[in-house]
Structure 1
């Protein structure tokens, strides 16, 4: 060590200069070496190219790829730099030979640059080839050799070599000129791409074919001569045609590419997309687009998710329509009116809260709540309908009444747990229309929600009846990322597994709304829980299906919001849904979460917990369902011996009274229910000699209590009459009508009365022949 110190002490200036030179040498090479913008590239889960977006500078330049195919490596080394793995960045022998040959020819006929020097030249953007520039290239090349491995330097060259026009790099060139990935190139194709960067402006696919062929074949002959390829391979290689017209890059998932570009611009992204499923989904969308556009419906989207991993398997954001119909709009993340697609969430919420059972009867009658009058798609009324049938038939009125009973604010708070980003207003903003499409959401969030529900049931069955805290999480679309479901717990997240399972069971029904005949096309052997939705004005058609393994979401409509007659979830979205499920592997049914279910006796007619008066059947219900009210519709009635009239001890002796259990609905529910259920028996009237004080036997159907009724004028300028309707429990009863104590008339069997009152408040009084009376106050506006 002492001689070194002595040298430094004696020659400080030389040491300083040397130190500065070493520091300058250490930092002379830019890091990163290349700062050019790259194309955004997405690949399938297996590494297949799905699509790419051109770089900001207008060049097709993929992000650097460290994997160099063996064939291309052999070709480029034998064409450009055979001693690449042996020199320190420059080759003195090659430089001398090139200089001598060029001097003899009087022009440049041979280059002496190594591949390392060429990488430096590419990074310096084609500086003029002066002696000083050449010297600088050599210095930088040696520094590059110290920084990176030979393989890395070779990959830098392959990633940034020019291939003519706006094509840069081996990855793009392989696609543009041969329509394959680099590792799929043949020997002839690899040789072609090895010679192209040598003179990309002079030799371009489709032009100067003879010059290009000679250079390629000379390289192939060299490979044959040096035993890199055999004679058969050589003969087949020189017989291959040269590239002609450039191939277009794949556009397998253009809207996912658009989505990726906004978040990972200029990067190569391995996605979770299954290319086989993606191609099948694209084909399905294209086929159905040809049908939809006949009704001037031009846009559709499909999303497929894996329930277990929450990975996106297929992402088709739109149809192959044209720019006029906004083909570039990514519908999957576009907020659209939800229609009925969220009804299962309310159904599950009420089961989970113990406020309803699957077969509980829900009123389906003319309804007005705070000025809002919901209507079913089919304007008929059932009077009362089982909750699970209301879901499978997507009836609006029962679900509005269910939402009112459950609580609007309470349901809005539940939805917050699903992280539906477009439902961001308070409950009062949406009102009761929230359950019928008054809110907007997007296909991504809705599929995420149903996938989380399905995963809850799956996990509960696999974890000895436990839940995961992070169940309701974002889907994954970048390969390698794993969903963190959080810690396991006995505590449920939003809904218990039993309520979700029973919701999915109700969604398996194929008797869908509107009585549509399109279901003849569907394979009912696949047990799929699914739901359709149609927004107001036929602007949005939805269908979401879920199995133990997959969630498929479909939207159809027009991106500009134009509604079209006949555009419904049943007719437009559901056919695509089932076509996709037919293309997926079949799934096993959900396993019943037995620890969250219990067997209970319920009333056969009403679906409520059974009382001793009810005919009973045993079904599975959520644990919380044991808190629901017992059946309110079965009563003990006393009949005469002929069972024609009701009697009591005021008119009949006890030994002649027959006691029975009778299923009786309130008058308005009964009025509609008995029209759809021929087995329903109206409660017999009391015998005329009996003294009675019973429940009301009639009620108003229309108008609702306290309602302001507007009487419009017809085309003739006359005011349209108000039609008052009454439901009476006894067929053939005569009732008498009064308005403001003025007699209007009487009706029998069909109880409707048309009146044309003046503006202001009025009292309607109705009395039957037995002395029963009902009244209603209304306000009239003209």
Structure 2
């Protein structure tokens, strides 16, 4: 009641007081410090990986609430011994400072507390007048109401100047001692506690003796107050003063730039494994030093943890020159894929029930219009297992498999993988889609391999269940945990068995690049890996996966220049295996038996065995493999006792006729297959005294179908010959060759015929001695 009466009697004073209190309550800005800060990234273990200088040219790390105890003690003992007991200002210190300044006739001593210094720092160190001091004092008391003493210490530590363009304790620790502030010794903490007192007068590299004396004086004070013992003191004063500033670590520069685009000026904890990142940097540098001698200047590497989908290593480019675009982050840039997409085709065909791992696929000269795919060694095997075609990265079988599977169907699978650079329709890429006709990037490809590996892991670990968000994006932010979605009985893209069988096909470590050039890698680790080389030797790829890790490598030139020797198995694969050597050894994937069935397989053809297959074996295949066709290459034939001739009852007694299962390939496949398989036995011909059909089969080796052919000219300016080739199942057959209706000649044993056609369309006809006939249309252009 007395208060109410006082207010009524002294309205003006009350209003003035209320206004004063409101002003006092709001006199302190909500944000004390608004200057730009550096973007800082650390490893998953809080080790500094790199930082970018702030926009205003200062090394000013983002605000840090964690101030090391050593530095806190040194700071308080040097700057404000009564920090924890005053309300924001120290009357005794102010009185002593005023007395000394009046006596000197100028400002010689400040008497400011740490809280007042925080206010002065937030106001850009305005001139040290008595009026300004009064404002600092008022704001300091207001700050004491708003923030705790510990918070005020963090304000000071994050914003105090430490000489040059270094602001804040964290930046100073790295610039002057090349370590985190939490790892500072007593001597180092004492040195840094001194610097803000006169940052422009005393800092490492300048006035060394004066700085040394001040540091030792502070250490002596710590000894006197029993903060440190005598041994610590003696050892501390022996430590040298830093002579110059260190460079801020730049361990993963391209990731730092990526983070800066998304979280500029922030302190970001990443998923990077610093030790592995450093080791990978060294590996990349060593290989770059060799490759650059051949004009190959750019390398990118990505390492993912399969289980967490976290990025463990991020090398966006090699330590090359500015001229060679060292600052370009190639990990996310689209590049020609080469053969690196082949495993996806293999897995898709397994998943769709159109392939078994050991099923024979054609490897013969092939034309699709003007497109003529070739293997790397320009040779043919006639027929190879799908598994071997993948492990040897044969182009011709891949294109024929893609043609049979369906371009649109394969394109649909790739779209499900969310390869963001695959933006055109299937017809745009054509049959080159699996050989490098499309573009993708290292990020998306590694993501896909990791998702496939994780699919098998999750299937085995979760009672044969899939996760709905299995094919998700990896992350390099530590706070972001990947959500794999809900469990599901349904596959997401590929079933676990198809992926497992694909990895089984890729884990062979002895991999030929060509017959005369074998590359051998340590087989102690089971790794499913694939290389790729783009047309013109512009891009070299190697991606490998274990149960726990995916490593991806790209090598080439950022400007797209091709170089001889820029081949995946020769350049990218060695880096891949050097990195895997640094990773912990992983167990191999568990067999997803719930998605597999054990069936009889024809040993020679790899197809599902029929009753007449002579050699069979039991093999686990994907469940969808039960839909594949039965073996088409075995037939029952009647032969004589020697098995040298086919016979029938017109020429041989029934008791002398043997019925035998015979492995027979079509003529075109057989022609090349028997060169690589010396134990292959061609189907015997009918004995001459036998009556009945004795039909022989033949087929064009070149060209294999209607083709448009461009005949180049030789060095004399004359047009080269067109060499026609035909395979016949009867080695003794005589062939008769015709161009349109014109007879050209005959061949025996080696069925090749050279013609010199002019520009135009021709129908070439070949007839054997029994009257069998084949035709082929060829369009000749210059």
State the alpha-carbon separation in 2 of the partners of residues 6 and 349 from structure 1.
Answer: 90
Q: Indicate yes or no: 2:630 matched with 1:630.
A: yes
**Alignment map for 1:288-687 (pairs within 5 Å):** 288-515=287-514, 522-614=521-613, 615-687=615-687
The answer (yes or no) to whether the contact 1:394–1:512 under 8 Å persists in 2 is no
Write out per-residue CA displacement over residues 593-640 of structure 1, whole angstroms, 9 at most, x where no aligned residue: 110111111111110000011110111100000010000010111123
Structure 2 residue 768 is the aligned partner of structure 1 residue 751: no
Aligned to 2:754, the other structure's residue is in SS state strand
* RMSD between superposed Cα atoms in Å: 1.7
The range that moved more, 335-344 or 695-704, is 695-704
What is the Cα deviation at residue 675 of structure 1? 0.9
Residue 133 of structure 1 aligns to a residue whose secondary structure is helix
Q: CA deviation at 1:235?
A: 1.6
SS of residue paired to 1:738: strand
Q: SS of 1:313's equivalent?
A: strand
Q: Structure 2: how far apart are the matches of 1:409 and 1:693?
A: 43
Provide the TM-score with structure 1 as the length reference: 0.97
Aligned residue in 2 for 1:698: 698
Return 377-386 or 229-238, whichever deviates more. 229-238
What is the CA-CA distance between 1:686 and the residue it aligns to?
Answer: 2.1
Match of 1:713 in 2: 713
Report the 3-state secondary structure (helix = DSSP H, G, I; strand = E; otherwise coil) of the residue aligned with 1:583. Answer: coil
Instruction: Say which is worse superposed, 316-325 or 439-448, in terms of deviation.
Output: 316-325
8 Å contact from structure 1 (residues 363, 384) kept in 2: yes
Structure-2 change in CA distance of 1:761 and 1:606 (3 Å):
same
Q: Do the aligned partners of 2:364 and 2:381 also contact (CA within 8 Å) in 1?
A: yes
Q: Give ranges in structure 2 of 5+ residues lacking alignment.
A: none
Q: Name 1:272's counterpart in structure 2.
A: 271
Per-residue deviation at 1:741?
2.0
Q: Does 1:72 find its partner at 2:62?
A: no
Q: Distance in 2 between matches of 1:469 and 1:526?
A: 31
Distance 1:294 1:363 in 2: 40
Whole-angstrom CA distance in 1 between matches of 2:58 and 2:426: 50
For residue 11 of structure 1, report the CA deviation from its aligned partner: 4.2
Report the secondary structure of 2:566's partner residue: coil
1:755-778, Cα deviation, whole Å (9 max, x unpaired): 112322221111112222111122
Q: Indicate conservation of the 8 Å contact 1:364/1:381, yes or no.
A: yes
Task: Tell me, in whole angstroms, the C-alpha distance in 1 between the residues paired with 2:330 and 2:673.
Answer: 41
* Partner SS for 1:512: strand
Sort the Cα spacing of 1:220 and 1:645 in 2 relative to 1 into closer, same or farther, 3 A.
same
C-alpha distance in 2, partners of 1:12/1:374?
Answer: 98
Counterpart position of 1:232: 231
Q: Which one is further off, 206-215 or 492-501?
A: 206-215
* Structure 2: distance between partners of 1:115 and 1:55: 25
Q: CA deviation at 1:10?
A: 4.5
Residue correspondence of structure 1 range 20-31 to structure 2 within 5 A: 20-31=19-30
Distance 1:199 1:601, change over 3 A: same
1:50 matched to 2:67? The reply is: no
Q: Whole-Å Cα distance in 2 between the matches of residues 656 and 518 of structure 1? A: 50
CA distance in 2, matches of 1:528, 1:452: 16
**Structure 1 residue 713: Cα displacement:** 2.2
How far, CA to CA, are the matches of 1:517 and 1:17 in structure 2?
97
Distance in 2 of aligned mates of 1:39 and 1:516: 54
Written as runs of structure 1 = structure 2, the 5 A alignment for 1:89-168 is: 89-168=88-167
Q: What is the match of residue 81 of structure 2? A: 82
Query: How many angstroms apart in 1 are the aligned matches of 2:384 and 2:8?
Result: 102
8 Å contact from structure 1 (residues 516, 570) kept in 2:
no
Provide, for residues 198-244 of structure 1, a one-character-per-residue CA deviation record: whole Å limited to 9, x for no partner: 11111121111122112212211111111111112112222211111
Deviation digits for residues 357-399 of structure 1 (CA, Å, limit 9, x no counterpart): 0011111111112432111111001111100000000001111
- 2:244 is aligned with 1:219: no
For residue 107 of structure 1, report the CA deviation from its aligned partner.
Answer: 3.3
Task: Say if 2:183 is the partner of 1:184.
Answer: yes
> Which range is displaced more, 637-646 or 475-484?
637-646
Counterparts of 2:720 and 2:519, CA distance in 1 = 43
> Secondary structure of the equivalent of 2:82?
coil
User: How far, CA to CA, are the matches of 1:433 and 1:589 in structure 2?
Assistant: 32
Displacement of 1:571: 0.6
Using a 3 Å threshold, how does the CA distance of structure 1 residues 696 and 463 change in structure 2: closer, same or farther?
farther
Q: How many Å separate the matches in 1 of 2:146 and 2:272?
A: 36
SS of residue matched to 2:366:
coil
Do the aligned residues in 2 keep the contact of 1:682 with 1:730 (CA within 8 Å)? no
1:430-479 deviations in whole A, cap 9, x for unaligned? 11111011111111111111111000000011101000001001112111
Q: Give distance in 2, aligned partners of 1:83 and 1:518.
A: 77
Q: Give SS of 2:115's match.
A: helix
| CA–CA separation in structure 2 for the residues paired with 1:520 and 1:625 | 32
Q: Give the Cα–Cα distance (whole angstroms) in 2 for the partners of residues 320 and 772 of structure 1.
A: 66
Contact 2:316–2:331 (CA<8 Å) still a contact in 1?
yes
Encode CA deviations 1:565-592: one digit per residue, 9 max, x unaligned: 1111111011111111111110011110
Which whole-Å deviations, capped at 9, do the CAs of 1:63-98 have from their partners, x for residues lacking one?
011111111111110111111111111111111111
Report if aligned partners of 2:510, 2:520 keep a CA contact under 8 Å in 1: no
C-alpha distance in structure 2 between counterparts of 1:780 and 1:421, whole Å: 40
SS where residue 776 of structure 1 aligns?
A: strand
Tell me by how many angstroms 1:734 deviates.
1.8
Q: Secondary structure at the match of 1:607?
A: coil
Distance of 2:677 and 2:727 partners within structure 1: 16
Note the C-alpha offset of 1:688: 3.1
Q: What SS does structure 2 have at the residue aligned with 1:16? A: helix
Asked if 2 retains the 8 angstrom alpha-carbon contact of 1:332 and 1:442, the reply is yes
Distance 1:50 1:692 in 2: 83
Residue 659 of structure 1 aligns to a residue whose secondary structure is strand
- Contact (CA 8 Å) 2:525, 2:585: kept in 1 or not? yes
Rounded Cα–Cα distance in structure 2 between residues aligned with 1:274 and 1:97? 54
SS at match of 1:324: coil
Matched residue SS, 2:581: helix
* CA separation of 1:484 and 1:262: change in aligned 2, threshold 3 A: same
Give the drift of 1:150. 1.0
In the alignment, what sits opposite 2:739? 739
2:40/2:61 contact within 8 Å kept: yes
Match of 1:724 in 2: 724
Counterpart in the other structure of 1:241: 240
* CA deviation string 1:236-262 (max 9, x = no partner): 222211111211111111111111111
Give the distance between the partners of 2:532 and 2:686, measured in 1 at CA.
47
Aligned-pair CA distance for 1:555: 1.1
Q: Secondary structure at the match of 2:188?
A: helix
- Partners of 2:669 and 2:594 in 1: CA distance: 36
In the superposition, relative to structure 1, how do residues 189 and 516 fare at CA in structure 2: closer, same or farther (>3 Å)? Answer: farther
Q: Contact 1:497–1:593 (CA<8 Å) still a contact in 2? A: yes
Return the offset for 1:3: 4.7
Aligned residue for 1:514, secondary structure, equals strand
Q: Helix, strand or coil for the counterpart of 1:494?
A: coil
Paired with 1:435 and 1:363, the residues of 2 have a C-alpha distance of 16
Kindly tell me: are residues 667 and 147 of structure 1, through their superposed partners in 2, closer, same or farther at Cα, counting changes over 3 Å?
same
Greater shift, 569-578 or 705-714, is seen at: 705-714
Quote the offset at 1:691 in angstroms: 4.7
Count, aligned residues: 781
| Corresponding position: 1:774 with 2:774 | yes
d(CA) in 1 for partners of 2:481, 2:640: 72
Q: State the TM-score, normalized to the length of structure 2.
A: 0.97
